[in-house]
Amino acid sequence: MINVFLDDLRPCPRGFVPARTAEECLLLLAECDVRLLSLDYELGYGQPNGMAVVRGIIASGDYPEEIYVHSSSMSGRAAMARALREAAPAGVVVHDGPMPEDVLERAAAGAEPDA
């Protein structure tokens, strides 16, 4: 299993595979088992945003175990978290905000997120 960090500007945390575009993120979700996913909303001028990833997740059913929406765009973050929560199957956890330090530390160490 891998962890995926979608953001066009922020540095990718240790223990995560970076996705810089919506397309890259959706490809990783389709081809890999993803444990943790952290999503940004704004992905560059004229580029598909994080909501495109959310729509792709919902359409494909390729849900990771746990999703964080770390975007600084308040409206984008709220819309993404709401759409994911409304459609996510039982057992998928959606967080409206960035990953806490303990989650980042466990990911960097290669541990399970709830260990």
Look at residue 31 and tell me if it is in a domain.
yes
- Count structural domains, the chain: 1
Look at residue 104 and tell me if it is in a domain.
yes
Partner residues linked to 3 by β-bridges: 36
CA dihedral 13, 87, 96, 35 (to 10 degrees): -20
Give the model confidence (pLDDT) of 77-111 as tens digits: 999 999 999 999 999 999 999 999 999 999 999 86
Look at residue 50 and tell me if it is in a domain.
yes
* Local confidence band at 115 (pLDDT 50, 70, 90 cut-offs): very low
pTM: 0.93
Look at residue 32 and tell me if it is in a domain.
yes
Q: What is the CATH number of the domain that holds 13?
A: 3.40.50.2300
Look at residue 115 and tell me if it is in a domain.
no
Give the model confidence (pLDDT) of 33-75 as tens digits: 999 999 999 999 999 999 999 999 999 998 999 999 999 999 9
Look at residue 114 and tell me if it is in a domain.
no
Which domain range does residue 101 map to? Answer: 2-109
What is the rounded CA–CA span in Å between residue 1 and residue 7? Answer: 20
